[in-house]
Chain A
């Protein structure tokens, strides 16, 4: 799902490594949950590093203005 408007904390942000079974390469994705545990947003692509993943999450409300 494509986030349209930035949302703000408080939310639960999860950064998860995903290891690809064939190549063994690890990529990162993020998911933002509401208080009730419902998935509010998630990253549209996988990132090579956690830092890149966090930077992308910032674009969607993870970081302060």
Chain B
């Protein structure tokens, strides 16, 4: 058996631990070298004194030393860390273990007390805590960046004031929620949140610019850096996420891009206007030189007819551009058979398809595919897709049109063997004024707004229009998806079938002599009796005597403008109903409203299609088309 004196020597000479014994009341009975070094008392100075001398005044006042002994008495031991006081009054951070000492009968003999100085560790921890606190305050005070942490599953675990300001969520609202709350529906559907986490986990960092969503649903353009955070054992602890709101920069870039697009558009517009104007001018000269050559005149007339139709299409495009830009593109809604739309669109696009000698396949289970929409606008949409396919497919290519039913929707696909679309511009081709693909030939002309208009029309029908392509020279496919309607389709009787020839007395008022003359010639060729004037005051005089049934009245005239003429005509009230029709270059909604207020029954925008004019003249009563 080991000599008990060895134990005593070990205790007395231990340097790094204060080891001493207390009697049951807490008075010090023994003292070792470590205790002397740690607390500064010599054995003869401290033995016999109460151990509370090592405690701070606050601890003594709260009865803490007695509490320690009480716990040790009941539970056998007591452990604690806290500030203790040396003989010189200085403090140190102590780890204390008090153990109750009992004899064989369980009688309390006293307590052993082991104290270690952990001041250095404590100071290190405190320094670390302060550093973390400073860092936390720094992060917290940043308002221009959203800085927050995610756990490995993407749950938000911290939130700074910048994040609150940028995204609109308070800390208590978002902590514990998935970070996918900040993503758009499209990105969610594409699995983007999990893709970002996977990238950060795999490479340590994911960085991107994308649209993000605020609490109120608004979008903002964000630059996001996601960094994986690992512990010392390289276990993933979560992700640090820093988000910057770059919406203003994005808007500036968009404006710059828009300005560039508009400049390109103006250049293209000039080019597109010159194209039909040149043959018209030429045709007029040819007709002037050979006025009696009927065959030549007829050929030139057809040229002028075709080219002026092209000019009218350009004007229509420009009107649509204005409507899209203002967000005032409106559609009528009625049950429409998609098969009817497809075949009308094919008829419209037939010249473009034929000019490039493309083979055409129509595979369309369209009977019964009824959508609730605007037949003319849907036809325009599909015709735009077909014209696009014809334009961007080298001559002798192939175009497929397919329609089918799928999940309560009508799906229409227009596919071609053309030049395809590069992946990086596949979404941009739907932007206004962007010519994503350079046209092989400008079949059918137009201003290159076809796809922007087509997508807008699709959206107005609650549908979508998307482009697909495997890349350059791999062809392209445009897929329209619109909800099906339950109601049966309505078929309209064509305007031509509605026409009946009724001669009328018509007064033409236009300061543009050529416009007035050609209109006069057309009306007389249709059997109507006409009077023509180029002056507002004169128009009022003629009206008193001629008593027209219809007045075709220009608005922008010098002197008495069309609005005033209309007002005075209405005021004359010569006892017979008559209709006043505006024929004007001003086609904005505000212009229509103003003409209506001035007393016009109808507002037609130049160039007026002769068929429309005939139809208007056949209508006996009331105002339409305003």
Q: Which residues of A contact B358 (CB under 8 A)?
A: 17
Q: Which residues of A contact B353 (CB under 8 A)?
A: 50
**A6 to B: closest C-beta gap in Å:** 13
A41 contacts the other chain (CB 8 A): no
Interface size on A, residues (CB 8 A): 21
- Docked-complex contact A9 and B367, CB < 8 angstroms: yes
Most A CB within 10 A of own CB, among B340, B361, B362, B365: B362
Task: Give A18's nearest chain B residue, CB to CB.
Answer: B357
Quick one: CB contact mask for A1-45 with B, threshold 8 Å, 1 for yes?
000000011111111110100000010100000000000000000
In-complex Cβ contact of B365 among A10, A16, A58 (8 A): A10
Q: Which residues of B contact A11 (CB under 8 A)?
A: 363
**Consensus secondary structure, chain B interface:** mixed
- Docked-complex contact A26 and B343, CB < 8 angstroms: no
State the CA gap A14–B362 with chains docked (Å). 6
Chain B contacts with A in 351-404, Cβ cutoff 8 A: 351, 353-354, 357-367, 396
**Consensus secondary structure, chain A interface:** mixed
**B467 to A: closest C-beta gap in Å:** 24
State the CA gap A57–B396 with chains docked (Å). 21
State the CA gap A51–B348 with chains docked (Å). 9
Q: Which residues of A contact B444 (CB under 8 A)?
A: none
Q: Given A16-B359, A17-B359, A64-B339, do A51 and B350 touch, yes or no (CB 8 Å)?
A: yes
Q: Which residues of A contact B396 (CB under 8 A)?
A: 17
Q: Which residues of B contact A26 (CB under 8 A)?
A: 354, 357
B346 contacts the other chain (CB 8 A): yes
- Docked-complex contact A14 and B360, CB < 8 angstroms: yes
- Docked-complex contact B362 and A13, CB < 8 angstroms: yes
In-complex Cβ contact of B361 among A14, A19, A28, A51 (8 A): A14
- Docked-complex contact B365 and A14, CB < 8 angstroms: no
**A11 to B: closest C-beta gap in Å:** 8
Q: Which residues of A contact B366 (CB under 8 A)?
A: 9-10
State the CA gap A13–B399 with chains docked (Å). 12
Q: Which residues of A contact B354 (CB under 8 A)?
A: 17, 26, 28, 49-51
- Docked-complex contact B339 and A9, CB < 8 angstroms: yes
Q: Which residues of B contact A17 (CB under 8 A)?
A: 354, 357-359, 396
**A65 to B: closest C-beta gap in Å:** 9
Q: Given A19-B357, A64-B367, do A12 and B362 touch, yes or no (CB 8 Å)?
A: yes
Q: Which residues of A contact B340 (CB under 8 A)?
A: 64
Interface size on B, residues (CB 8 A): 23
Quick one: CB contact mask for B109-146 with A, threshold 8 Å, 1 for yes?
00000000000000000000000000000000000000
Q: Which residues of B contact A54 (CB under 8 A)?
A: 343, 346-347, 350
- Docked-complex contact B347 and A51, CB < 8 angstroms: yes
State the CA gap A50–B343 with chains docked (Å). 13
- Docked-complex contact A64 and B357, CB < 8 angstroms: no
- Docked-complex contact A63 and B351, CB < 8 angstroms: no
State the CA gap A16–B353 with chains docked (Å). 11
Task: Give A51's nearest chain B residue, CB to CB.
Answer: B350
State the CA gap A15–B359 with chains docked (Å). 6
Q: Which residues of A contact B357 (CB under 8 A)?
A: 17, 19, 26
State the CA gap A8–B366 with chains docked (Å). 10
Q: Which residues of B contact A9 (CB under 8 A)?
A: 339, 364-367
- Docked-complex contact B351 and A51, CB < 8 angstroms: yes
Task: Give B360's nearest chain A residue, CB to CB.
Answer: A15
- Docked-complex contact A50 and B367, CB < 8 angstroms: no
**B281 to A: closest C-beta gap in Å:** 27
B510 contacts the other chain (CB 8 A): no
Q: Which residues of B contact A16 (CB under 8 A)?
A: 359-360
Chain A contacts with B in 45-65, Cβ cutoff 8 A: 49-51, 54, 58, 62-64
Task: Give B354's nearest chain A residue, CB to CB.
Answer: A50
- Docked-complex contact B364 and A10, CB < 8 angstroms: yes
State the CA gap A13–B339 with chains docked (Å). 13
State the CA gap A50–B363 with chains docked (Å). 17
State the CA gap A51–B350 with chains docked (Å). 6
State the CA gap A54–B340 with chains docked (Å). 14
- Report B's interface with A, CB cutoff 8 A: 337, 339-340, 343, 346-347, 350-351, 353-354, 357-367, 396, 491
- Report A's interface with B, CB cutoff 8 A: 8-17, 19, 26, 28, 49-51, 54, 58, 62-64
**8 further A-B pairs in the complex, CB-CB below 8 A; given A17-B354, A49-B354, A62-B362:** A9-B366, A10-B363, A16-B360, A17-B358, A26-B354, A50-B351, A54-B346, A64-B367
List 25 A–B pairs whose Cβ atoms lie within 8 Å, in order of A's numbering.
Answer: A8-B367, A9-B339, A9-B364, A9-B366, A10-B365, A11-B363, A12-B363, A13-B361, A14-B361, A15-B359, A15-B361, A17-B357, A17-B358, A17-B396, A26-B354, A49-B350, A49-B354, A51-B347, A51-B354, A58-B343, A62-B362, A63-B343, A64-B340, A64-B343, A64-B367
Q: Which 3 A-B pairs have the closest CB atoms?
A: A10-B365, A50-B354, A12-B363
